[in-house]
Amino acid sequence: MFNVKWVVLSAVLAIGIGSVLAQDYPCDVYLRSAKIYLNRSTPDYESALKNLKDGYQKCYNDPVLHELLGRIYADQNQLEKMAEEFRIAKQLGHPKAADMDSVLQSKWIQSFQNGTQTLEQADAAASDSLRSILFEQAAKSFETCIMMDSSRYQPYVNAAAQWISLNRTERADTLLANAYQLAPESLNVVLSYGINLYNLENYDRAIQIFEKAIKIDANNREALINLASLYGQKMDTDSNALSKAMLIWEDLIEKQMANKDIYYNRGSIFFKKAEKETIVKDREQLFKSAEKDFEKVVELDSNDVDALYQLALVQLNMNEIDKAQVNLEKVVTLEPSHKSAWETLAIIYTKKGMKDKAKEADARSKGEMSDSK
């Protein structure tokens, strides 16, 4: 009688249990049948997967079930399901955890390479719409890496960069926060996180992050520039913010690391302080400092309309009418619709008795005349 039962069981394993699933078989039957399908010269994934799914509840506590499912999903590139089944298998004490880790590592590399290759395609994309699609695909490839191994920070940063390109800064923030937890001493991580926080207008947290960046690298230009700008955002609520910003700007200028924005921002502060200063000598000195900074901006970028306009206003306050006129005329040449510049020119022309020019400037300031007239 024993021999008859063994023959019946062997027959079931040989053909699989798909046709008799209504019966409740021992867990070993489901697993053996799946292995038979998988060990064929051409693996029958569909039948193996069906047997394993049918035995899933009954065999849930058997790590082999999850290991087999993980390998099927790996071969089918269903990486999220693969990672989850391998996780359960290892949690249940599968003796070949190292083998599963090897598969995960291989798939991690594959997914990371897919992300980088997709970015290369995005760089060469013929349209913005296609580029956006490729950015999203790349981001999801890097997020797949995270799902397979959440202990590496690089995929978090890479995925976040793509979501930022797609204006999905909130999603990027979550990724960068995780990257920062994993690698708080990585300057690249810290800078990326700080910049995204700045874009989200989370100024207090961004300040903390950029201060951390400066602890890592005291001469990092990007961190210093962003930190000074953030202090500038806090001037109305933090009495020490202005002095902190000024110290950083002066440090950047002294180290010849300043860009035109540094000079513009510092010039704007000098200008504002000059307008409020009641002591004439100090007021004049502040105007001179503002003039010098705005002139530096124009030296660095002769087409910076905002700097030219602010320079002209400073020069008017210093009674340098001719200089102000020249710079305002440059402004309206570069930006003919700049109504404030035309309005100020109208005043200058009137003071100089240039009636026709004053009339034209006044009309342009009110939008009553264009270049076509």
Instruction: List the chain domain ranges.
Output: 1-95, 118-183, 184-257, 259-373
pLDDT of residue 370: 63
- Residue type at 242? L
Q: Which of 15-24, 297-306, 359-368 has the lowest mean pLDDT?
A: 15-24
Q: Which CATH architecture does the domain made up of 1-95 adopt?
A: Alpha Horseshoe (1.25)
Predicted confidence (pLDDT) per residue in 303-323, tens digit: 999 999 999 999 999 999 999
Q: Has residue 88 got a pLDDT over 90?
A: yes
Domains 1-95 and 259-373 share a fold: yes
Quick check: 120 pLDDT over 50? yes
5 has a pLDDT exceeding 90: no
Residue 242 has pLDDT above 50, yes or no: yes
**16: pLDDT strictly greater than 60:** no
Q: What DSSP assignment string belongs to 271-303?
A: HHHHHH--SHHHHHHHHHHHHHHHHHHHHH-TT
CB within 8 Å of 48: residues ≥ 6 apart: 33, 34, 35, 37, 38, 68, 72
- Read off the pLDDT of each residue in 129-144 and give the average, rounded to a whole number: 96
- Stretch 350-365: mean pLDDT: 93
Convert the pLDDT of each residue in 164-223 to its tens digit.
999 999 999 999 999 999 999 999 999 999 999 999 999 999 999 999 999 999 999 999
pTM: 0.75
CATH 1.25.40.10 fits 259-373, yes or no: yes
Q: Does domain 184-257 have CATH number 1.10.150.120?
A: no
Using CA atoms, how far apart are residues 293 and 30, in angstroms rounded to an integer?
Answer: 79
pLDDT band at residue 371, thresholds of 50, 70 and 90?
low
